[in-house]
């Protein structure tokens, strides 16, 4: 769980937006112009392709709503959705919610299992298995920028003919995303200090990751590291190892509890 505040200049932007009358009323259902414009500018540069904020971007109430909106736009009862395992188990819940059928394709670990640490690049996707998973009812495949997940601002980017259906699914799901949070997110992307924030945040996460990985190494638990991501896959072979790992992490203040629905998934 991310438990860091957004940088002060972004928090201040949110406070300023709360004082704007239009931000505190129902705003444009498809997203505020300022946010769509800066996202189009940012991702046009990253993708090296021109994007239109109105036609290629769907503003949603959080990333989960972006995924759910995409599924609602295209999945009918019995349609298949390919996911790559290991996966965030929320994907399975969302696919089931819309009546879809989950078609998992597993990443294969490296054959050299002597090492305690494995890089994500060492894992391989069998393209034949992926091809075999695609059937006549396959419709989709699914795969926290400023430490402000509680603001519930997300977005989806895509081809105009695809994204327009996601935009209207969002209207049915949420109607409108909170205006002050959208304005603050736009201000964050516009502010040149964001680049320093990204670099500092990566360093902070790297420190946390190093501590976490050292505990796993001390316990003899095999794990896969995903570059600078804060996500880790851990292989625990016994209940005793799991309990010992939880005890060590709780000693550092980590919350190791899981909701019942997550525990049931194994």
pLDDT score of 232: 46
Work out the average pLDDT over 124-144. Answer: 73
CB 146 within 8 A of CB 201: no
The CB density around residue 38, as the number of other CB atoms within 10 Å, is 17
Q: Where are the beta strands (DSSP E) in the chain?
A: 57-60, 80-85, 101-108, 117-119, 124-125, 138-142, 154-157, 222-225, 232-235
pTM: 0.70
In tens, the pLDDT along 106-128 reads: 888 777 655 556 666 677 788 88
CA distance 84 to 228: 20
pLDDT score of 136: 78
C-alpha pair distances (Å), 239 with each of 236, 243, 245 = 8, 6, 10
pLDDT score of 216: 75
β-bridge partners, 154:
60
Report the share of the chain in percent with pLDDT over 90: 14
Whether the predicted pLDDT of 64 surpasses 80: yes
pLDDT score of 46: 85
Work out the average pLDDT over 234-255. Answer: 64
In tens, the pLDDT along 198-244 reads: 777 777 777 777 777 787 777 777 666 655 444 444 555 556 666 77
On the question of a cis peptide bond just before residue 86, with omega within 30 degrees of 0, the verdict is yes
Q: Which residue has the higher pLDDT, 232 or 67?
A: 67
The CB density around residue 255, as the number of other CB atoms within 10 Å, is 9
The CB density around residue 72, as the number of other CB atoms within 10 Å, is 21
Confidence of residue 259 (pLDDT cuts 50, 70, 90): very low
Phi-psi region at 115: left, alpha or beta (left = phi > 0; alpha = psi -120 to 50): beta
CA distance 195 to 188: 10
CB 130 within 8 A of CB 33: no
Confidence of residue 31 (pLDDT cuts 50, 70, 90): very high
Whether the predicted pLDDT of 258 surpasses 60: no
Work out the average pLDDT over 184-192. Answer: 84
pLDDT score of 147: 60
């Amino acid at each position: 769980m991310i438990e860091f505040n957004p940088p002060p200049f972004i928090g201040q932007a949110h406070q300023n937006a709360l004082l704007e009358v239009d931000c505190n009323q129902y705003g444009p259902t498809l997203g505020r112009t300022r946010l769509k414009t800066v996202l189009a500018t940012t991702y046009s540069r990253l993708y090296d392709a021109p994007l239109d904020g109105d036609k290629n971007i769907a503003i949603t109430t959080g990333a989960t709503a972006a995924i759910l909106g995409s599924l609602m736009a295209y999945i009918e009862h019995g349609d298949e959705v390919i996911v790559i395992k290991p996966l965030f188990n929320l994907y399975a819940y969302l696919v089931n919610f819309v009546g879809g059928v989950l078609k998992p394709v597993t990443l294969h670990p490296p054959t050299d299992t002597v090492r305690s640490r494995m890089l994500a690049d060492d894992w391989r996707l069998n393209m034949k298995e992926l091809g075999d998973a695609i059937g006549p009812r396959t419709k989709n495949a699914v795969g926290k920028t400023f430490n402000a997940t509680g603001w519930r601002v997300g977005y989806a980017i895509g081809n105009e003919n695809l994204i327009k259906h996601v935009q209207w699914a969002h209207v049915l799901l949420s109607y409108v995303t909170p205006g002050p949070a959208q304005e603050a997110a736009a201000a964050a992307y516009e502010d040149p200090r964001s680049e320093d924030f990204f670099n500092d945040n990566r360093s902070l996460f790297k420190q946390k990751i190093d501590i976490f990985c050292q505990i796993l190494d001390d316990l003899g638990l095999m794990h896969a590291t995903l570059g600078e991501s804060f996500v880790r896959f851990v292989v625990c072979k016994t209940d005793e190892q799991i309990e010992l790992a939880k005890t060590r992490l709780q000693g550092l203040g980590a919350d190791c509890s899981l909701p019942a629905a997550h525990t049931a998934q194994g």
